[in-house]
Amino acid sequence: MSTVQTPLDTADTATGGPRRAAAWSDAVAALALVALLVLGAATHRFYTFDNLRAVLTSASLVGIAALGLTLIVIAGTSVSLAISETASVCAMVFLATQSWGLVPSLLVTLAAGAAITALQGLAVGYGEANPIVLSIAAGFALVGVATWVTGGTSVAPHGAGYIHLNATPGGIASSVYVLVAFTVLLELLLRRSGFGRTLYLTGANRRAATAAGLAVGRTITIAWLLAGALFAVAASFSGAFNTTANINLGGTLTFDAIAAVLAGGTPIAGGSGSAVRTLCGAVLIAALSDVLLLRGYSTGAQVMVKGLIVLAIVVVVHLRSRQGAR
């Protein structure tokens, strides 16, 4: 007896590709993990409690931003290349509004991050704009606006509310607790809500999701909006830690977040992935940077290693995808 395949069935079937891609990403990440454990055993002070805390703190700032990027990637809208610039602007907003108090300052910062990224999400979701080109343009615009407003100087706080974000309850940085809390909340949102299911189906096959009558444009816009809010959270912790902020504060955050998402096994093609995977990827990338730092390697060497991991994942997944398509 024949069966009729609906657009949603097509989208469900299409998730097989992303799952295979995630499996190959896992294989590359597992190799990196083995190399890390071996290198860590030969590195003085790597397996100490104090160093573990340093790794977790480093992973938390990148991890929170990477959680936001995970939504963008799962939606099948590639990545945002304006994370560093968005975080820098949000950190400047956070410190500039400290005189209003911590909570109002956080709310304004979250609203700024969400608005900046949601505007891009609108163009990607409803206008099918290229997310790479769009986010590059957005990054340039943010640099221009921030430089014009501040005259290129750093922003310093006029209040002390930000100090609370630097608290270390139980000896662990508060940003680590926030990372874990957001990971749980995001995982529940992805697995247990209609938004999460629509997001996966949109990322797996946008045309099929549209044909099935799903709110594709709205789902993508919400994904980008939530991503911007998470970029702003990471920026608030970064601004509080550094106590000043300028347009360069974000540094390599864009690349670090992309590395964490891909190392966690979320395929760049979308339709698969999870918050828990991104958490693992962020810790892996932070631990790799840490062991290289302990062994005296420069920042350039750390960036190169992370780049090689991302390159290996992208190349392996691409080659396996081409073989699977034949």
The tens digit of pLDDT for each residue in 288-305 reads 889 888 988 888 887 888
- Is 59 in contact with 214 (CB distance < 8 Å)? no
* Cα–Cα distance for residue pair 306/299, rounded to 1 Å: 11
Does pTM surpass 0.75? yes
Q: Is 261 exposed, middle or buried (0-12, 13-18, 19+ CB in 10 A)?
A: buried
Per-residue pLDDT of 195-235, as tens digits, reads 999 999 999 999 999 999 999 999 999 999 999 999 999 99
Q: Work out the end-to-end distance of the chain between its first and last CA atoms, rounded to an integer number of angstroms.
A: 28
Q: Where are the domains of the chain?
A: 44-322
Per-residue pLDDT of 26-65, as tens digits, reads 777 787 788 888 888 888 889 999 999 999 999 999 999 9
